[in-house]
Amino acid sequence: MIGVFVFVVVSFFVSILLTLISYYLNKDEDLKIKKIKDMLPGYNCGACGFSGCEEMAKNLVNDNKLLSKCKPIKKEEYNKLMDYLSKSGK
């Protein structure tokens, strides 16, 4: 009985530790995705082939050439976002 209790307590603390590590390692990328999503038109139309602007933003982090697939984006938004993507790097 004590062994089960120790196992549960250790598992609980390990899960908290893993959650915190994951949060801190992905924090910068999550902020970048949010900023990119805010710069997209926000129609969630799916014309780019992704399910919405958030999926598009997640993929733009790795490949900024995908931005040309966004149909409703205006030219000034496109230029602003391309400038941000080129400055922020991978």
Residue numbers of the domain that contains 79: 2-88
Predicted pLDDT at 10? 98
**Cα–Cα distance list, 63 to 3, 66, 86 (Å):** 49, 6, 10
Predicted pLDDT at 90? 52
**Cα–Cα distance list, 88 to 27, 31, 54 (Å):** 15, 12, 18
Taking the C-alpha atoms of residue 37 and residue 84, their distance in angstroms, rounded to an integer, is: 12
Structural domains of the chain, count: 1
Predicted pLDDT at 25? 86
pLDDT band at 78 (very low <50, low <70, confident <90, very high): very high
CATH number of the domain that 60 lies in? 1.10.15.40
**pTM of the complete model beyond 0.75:** no
Residue 8 CA, chain-centre distance (Å), reads 32
For 36-64, what is the mean pLDDT? 92
